[in-house]
């Protein structure tokens, strides 16, 4: 985007905040310069930092808008203030003006950060599970996890990959996928954030804040948990999730139950990335050797770890 275009865009977006004017910026984010801008604004008394964010699609914009306005303020976790939603012009329909929650995010390589992230997710899942069961959450329009469709697709991908030795897929893996999806059906439903990358847990003055809710859905909590689980180094870290879950909601979760959820979550996470790789290779656009070493191979190891802990999930009888 040109400097003029960025300036015009920021001016149009700040016009949704009557009485406020731009003091500094806009500064495009280094990593998503076309979709995110930072601006400092003032009303003459107060200084405020805001983030201007462009959504991927109308549906994603609508989902995030609804979550920020109607759902997340009641959940007890920090999320950005949604100051305004704006269609700037027909070519830029979906912009949001959000409070700037800070410039750092949690790190996967720090145990305290992993525990903080797990605690946030425990709170999110327990509170939204209670809201769903008590009928306090309107669910129309919220996407739902479709386990059956996902299982059928992933099962076929893994089964076919058995024919190609370089994929290193093993004959028990399709059975593990079936068992994991069976177990997923037994988990309570909650709102999943849907993209629990550490970059989406922003660390600001007031604590950790979860941003980027465009992929949220209603489903078992395993996909959110699995993404963070992949970074967990000791099973003890999971207590942060369990304590938050039990403290925030009304559903019991024993230490053994937590371990079961963790195994389901890790297996789901690993199957997902294994299948991403297999599918991309099927389309002739497979990620390179670095990706294979950093994600694919550890995910195969994650599946072996779950198989060793839960041999009943892969027994052929």
53 lines the binding site for ligand ATP (CB under 6 A): yes
Helix, coil or strand: residue 99? strand
- Choice between 22 and 189, CB closer to ligand ATP: 22
Separation between Cα atoms, residue 303 and residue 174, nearest integer Å: 11
Alpha helices in the chain (DSSP H): 3-14, 58-66, 111-133, 147-161, 173-184, 222-229, 239-248, 255-282, 289-291, 297-309
Nearer to ligand ATP by Cβ, of 223 and 249: the residue is 223
Taking CB within 5 to 8 Å according to partner kind, which of Mg ion, ligand ATP, none is near residue 192? none
What contacts 69, CB < 8 A, 6 or more positions away? Answer: 82
202 lines the binding site for ligand ATP (CB under 6 A): yes
x-marked contacts with ligand ATP along 149-188 as a string, rule CB under 6 A:
----------------------------------------
Task: Check binding of 36 to ligand ATP (CB under 6 A).
Answer: yes
Give the binding-site size for ligand ATP (rule: CB under 6 A).
Answer: 19
Under rule CB under 6 A, which residues in 98-117 are in contact with ligand ATP? 98-102, 105
Q: Which does 123 bind (CB under 5 to 8 A by kind): ligand ATP, Mg ion, none?
A: none
Structure tokens at 83: 């100051």
Check if the beta carbon of residue 172 is closer than 8 Å to that of residue 162: no
Q: Indicate whether 314 belongs to the interface with ligand ATP (CB under 6 A).
A: no
Residue 51 binds to ligand ATP (criterion: CB under 6 A): yes
Q: Does 200 bind Mg ion (CB under 5 A)?
A: yes
Residue ranges in 61-80 that form contacts with ligand ATP under rule CB under 6 A: 80
- Residue 268's binding partner among Mg ion, ligand ATP, none (Cβ under 5 to 8 angstroms by kind) is none
Query: Per-residue x/- mask for Mg ion, residues 203 to 222, rule CB under 5 A?
Result: ---------x----------
Q: Which stretch binds ligand ATP (CB under 6 A): 125-133, 198-206, 268-276, 284-292?
A: 198-206
CB 128 within 8 A of CB 137: yes
Minimum distance, C-beta of residue 62 to Mg ion, in the bound complex (Å): 18
Stretch that binds Mg ion, among 70-78, 92-100, 196-204, 245-253 (CB under 5 A): 196-204
Token reading at 222: 């395993």
> Distance between CA 131 and CA 138 in Å, rounded?
9
Nearer CB in complex with Mg ion: 60/189: 60
Residue pair 183/264 in contact (Cβ under 8 Å)? The answer is yes
In terms of Cα–Cα distance, which of 210, 181, 182 is closest to 122? 210
In 3D space, the residue among 12, 38, 3 whose CA is nearest the CA of residue 23 turns out to be 38
Q: How many helices (H) and strands (E) does the chain have?
A: 10, 10
Q: Estimate the crossing angle of helix 255-282 against helix 173-184, to 10 degrees.
A: 130
- Rounded CA-CA distance 77/228 in Å is 17
Least distance to ligand ATP, CB of residue 193, Å: 11
Q: Considering only residues 1, 29, 203, 305, which one is a binding residue for ligand ATP as defined by CB under 6 A?
A: 29
Which residues here bind Mg ion, judged by CB under 5 A?
Answer: 200, 212
């Amino acid at each position: 985007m040109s400097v003029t275009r960025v300036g015009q865009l920021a001016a149009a977006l700040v016009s949704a905040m009557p009485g406020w004017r731009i003091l500094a910026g806009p500064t495009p984010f280094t990593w998503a310069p076309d979709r995110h801008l930072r601006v400092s604004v003032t009303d003459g008394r107060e200084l405020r930092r805001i983030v201007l964010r462009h959504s991927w699609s109308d549906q994603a914009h609508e989902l995030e808008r609804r979550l920020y306005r109607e759902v997340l303020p009641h959940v007890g976790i920090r999320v950005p203030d949604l100051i305004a939603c704006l269609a700037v012009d027909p070519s830029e329909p979906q912009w949001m003006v959000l409070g700037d929650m800070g410039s750092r995010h949690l790190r996967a390589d720090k145990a305290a950060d992993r525990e903080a992230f797990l605690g946030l997710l425990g709170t999110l899942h327990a509170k939204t599970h209670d809201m769903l069961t008590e009928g306090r959450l309107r669910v129309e329009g919220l996407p739902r996890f479709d386990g059956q469709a996902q299982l059928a697709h992933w099962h076929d991908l893994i089964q076919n990959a058995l024919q190609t030795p370089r994929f290193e897929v093993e004959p028990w893996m399709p059975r593990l996928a079936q068992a994991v999806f069976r177990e997923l059906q037994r988990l309570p439903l909650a709102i999943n954030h849907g993209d629990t990358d550490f970059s989406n847990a922003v660390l600001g003055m007031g604590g950790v804040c979860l941003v980027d809710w465009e992929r949220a859905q209603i489903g078992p909590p395993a996909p959110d948990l699995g993404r963070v689980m992949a970074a967990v180094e000791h099973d003890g870290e999971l207590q942060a999730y369990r304590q938050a879950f039990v403290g925030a909601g009304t559903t019991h979760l024993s230490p053994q139950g937590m371990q079961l959820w963790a195994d389901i979550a890790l297996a789901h996470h690993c199957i997902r990335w294994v299948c991403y790789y297999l599918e991309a290779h099927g389309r002739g656009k497979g990620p390179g050797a670095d990706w294979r070493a950093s994600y694919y191979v550890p995910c195969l190891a994650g599946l072996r770890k779950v198989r060793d802990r839960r041999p009943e999930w892969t027994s052929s009888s």
